Structure 1
Amino acid sequence: MSLLLKDKVYTVQSATSKRGVYPLHSYKLGLYRLPIKLEDSYEIDSIVSGFKKVFEMDKFADRVYATYRWTEENMPDPDERGYKSINLEVQVEIVTGEVVDMIYQIYPVEKYGDGLWVKDYRKKADTNAKMIIDTILRNSVLADKMIDHEVKTKQMSPEQALKELEEMTPLAQIVPNAKPKPKPASPPPGQQVAQEAEPVANEGAKPGPIDVDFKKKLKVVETFTAPSSHKIKVFGQRKGNEVLGIWGEFVSVDYDICVGDGACIDACPVKVYEWAEFKGHPASDKKPLMAREPDCIFCLSCENVCPVQAIKISKKG
């Protein structure tokens, strides 16, 4: 979504938006219009229920609201002198009907109190809003509607339309089971239909330790470019954020075992790791990213402190 209809994204620097949309009293407003229809209450409700574990979801009349909250800190240690923290949020409004409008607003940081020390607030809020939009569009019934629209209007195959949707939503997180289940058929008069049990999602980490022979058994399925520009190898199966595999060639962490306690980050004397978010992973939403893997001095401190034995350090060669 963050790359969709780029010529139809509007920025409003006033308290009232145009085109008949209710005033949002925001500092900045981004508006995306999707050429699809969403009028079925069953489908609308599926968006509200499908993303409750990821965002704060609400519904009023023909509108769905998704709110994402995050915390900013001016330093990592709450016990340090001068420590400050502030809770921030951004909200996306989905207006349903014969077309779907996805709107987001960014309030001035002053709205949250003493937050003028926050760095890159507008950029972070803008990115988080687009992440909400990308995530909902990729994982909900809207994805199927967009694919159908692309197939009909551009004469694409469903596979091509899906690839285009994925390219248009680069910030999307993977949210399992967010699409609506088929509507149950109406039973004949006087007959009741047995309720099917809800599928139980995988919750929690898989048991450790990490398989020390993973390089012999698993292939590199992709590479991830860290903020430091280091390319991290990813081994084994990956399924969005639900299954992550083993990351790192020499500083290796099985992210499906990792519970994100942060002991390795604190233990590393050369600051190899930094936090990275993987929303929706059953073990933890945050993982220690080996962003500076080449700096590792092979001291094994992180490997020794990991409570679930998810880390394996191995020298090159």
Structure 2
Amino acid sequence: MPIDQEFYKKLKPVARSEHGYLIWGPGKDGAAAESDEVKSAYESAGEKFEPLGVHGTYVAVDFDDCVADGACLPACPVSVFEWTKNIGFSGTEEKLDLTDKAAPVRESDCIWCMACVTVCPTEAVKVDEALVSVAENAESSLDAAESSKSE
């Protein structure tokens, strides 16, 4: 199941990652939920599978469709991606297990080459330079919502 090309129109920015990129939700049951190997990895790790949403905006990875293949990590010439659980690592063999995800931790470094998009087996990655302004507007909205909660 590929990433929804208009996720930013249908989902809401729900959080900011520790790396600063936006997380869009709510998540869904995607390719990861349908994979017996991924489900088994969650079970082995003692974790419950839960929808995780789309991580990033102009370099977006639908974590619910990501099956931790890792092809996007070495394909990227500017190292936009890292594993979420094996922090600091970006090799295909460095994932901890199939519950790990390729996070766009250096989203702003993207050079729009689309290498990650072309190698993703589940089409979970979307790269679109036009969404930089969408990210900026969504960040402002998220900041406003967070500050109104703290008042």
TM range (shorter): 0.5 to 0.7
- Separation in structure 1 between the aligned mates of residue 85 and residue 61 of structure 2, nearest angstrom: 15
Please give the TM-score of this superposition, normalised by the length of structure 1.
0.31
Partner of 2:25: 236
Partner of 1:261: 69
Partner of 2:118: 304
Partner of 1:222: 15
- Separation in structure 2 between the aligned mates of residue 294 and residue 303 of structure 1, nearest angstrom: 16
* Contact preservation (8 Å) 2:82, 2:102: yes
Amino acid at match of 1:222: A
Structure 2, unpaired ranges of 5+: 29-47, 87-96, 134-151
Map residues 1-317 of structure 1 onto 2, 5 A cutoff. 208-226=1-19, 231-237=20-26, 242-277=50-85, 284-315=98-129, 316-317=132-133
Deviations 1:99-137 (A, max 9, x none): xxxxxxxxxxxxxxxxxxxxxxxxxxxxxxxxxxxxxxx
- Separation in structure 2 between the aligned mates of residue 272 and residue 300 of structure 1, nearest angstrom: 12
Amino acid at match of 1:225: E
Amino acid at match of 1:211: D
* Contact preservation (8 Å) 1:258, 1:284: no
Deviations 1:219-272 (A, max 9, x none): 00111112xxxx110111159861100110111000010000110001000001
Amino acid at match of 2:106: R
Please give the TM-score of this superposition, normalised by the length of structure 2.
0.63
Deviations 1:167-213 (A, max 9, x none): xxxxxxxxxxxxxxxxxxxxxxxxxxxxxxxxxxxxxxxxx111000
- Separation in structure 1 between the aligned mates of residue 83 and residue 11 of structure 2, nearest angstrom: 25
Moved over 4 A (4+): 238-241
Bigger Rg over Cα: 1
Give the aligned length: 102
SS, match of residue 72 in structure 2: helix
- Separation in structure 1 between the aligned mates of residue 111 and residue 14 of structure 2, nearest angstrom: 26
Amino acid at match of 1:309: E
SS, match of residue 17 in structure 2: strand
- Separation in structure 1 between the aligned mates of residue 98 and residue 4 of structure 2, nearest angstrom: 20
- Separation in structure 1 between the aligned mates of residue 5 and residue 98 of structure 2, nearest angstrom: 22
Q: 1:249 to 1:257 in 2, by over 3 A?
A: same
* Contact preservation (8 Å) 1:220, 1:233: yes
Amino acid at match of 1:217: K
- Separation in structure 1 between the aligned mates of residue 85 and residue 49 of structure 2, nearest angstrom: 10
Deviations 1:135-161 (A, max 9, x none): xxxxxxxxxxxxxxxxxxxxxxxxxxx
More strand by share: 1
Identity %: 44
